[in-house]
Amino acid sequence: MIRVVLPQHLRKLARVGGEVTLEVAGPVTQRTVLDALEARFPMLGGTIRDHTTKRRRAFVRFFACEQDISNESPDALLPDAVASGAEPFLVVGAMAGG
């Protein structure tokens, strides 16, 4: 079971309260987690990564285990603590004015 923490705007859009829990079959990577997230909450499609290229949106960051893993390969394995559910995978709106 993977735990995902969404920023407030996306929690509201997906109509979820706290963390989201997902089952991910196979290797646990950014791509497989986000695929599972978007499959369960289709309204999140395009809000975290581009619909077509699947590239992370510029002002979205990914954190795990107190590390910024935004620029890791989307196919790199996430830390064991995320894969085991001990730590959440955090989707964060980048600090930016506006």
Partner 1 sequence: MSRVRVLVGTRKGAFVLESDGTRSRWDVSGPHFGGWEMYHLKGSPADPNRIYASQGTSWFGQLIQRSDDGGRTWEPVGNKFVYDGVPGTHLWYDGTPHPWEFARVWHLEPSRTDPDTVLAGVEDAALFRSTDAGQTWHELPGLRTHASASSWQPGAGGMCLHTILVDPSDERRMFIAISSAGAFRTDDGGATWRPINRGLRSEQIPNPTAEVGHCVHRIAMHPSRPRVLFMQKHWDVMRSDDGGQSWHEVSGNLPSDFGFPIDVHAHEPETIYVVPIKSDSEHYPPDGRLRVYRSRTGGNEWEALTDGLPQQNCFVNVLRDAMAVDGLDPCGVYFGTTGGQVYASANAGDRWAPIVRDLPAVLSVEVQTLP
Give the three-class secondary structure for 36.
helix
Per rule CB under 8 A, is residue 59 in the interface with partner 1? yes
Q: Which of 21, 27, 43, 68 binds partner 1 (CB under 8 A)?
A: 43
Beta bridge partners of 23: none
Q: Which of 2, 10, 64, 82 binds partner 1 (CB under 8 A)?
A: 10
Nearer Cβ to partner 1, position 85 or 93? 93
Per rule CB under 8 A, is residue 48 in the interface with partner 1? yes
Per rule CB under 8 A, is residue 55 in the interface with partner 1? no
Distance CA(84)–CA(93), nearest Å, equals 24
Per rule CB under 8 A, is residue 46 in the interface with partner 1? yes
Distance CA(50)–CA(57), nearest Å, equals 6
Give the three-class secondary structure for 39.
helix
Site for partner 1 in 63-92 (CB under 8 A): none
Nearer Cβ to partner 1, position 30 or 47? 47
Distance CA(69)–CA(79), nearest Å, equals 10
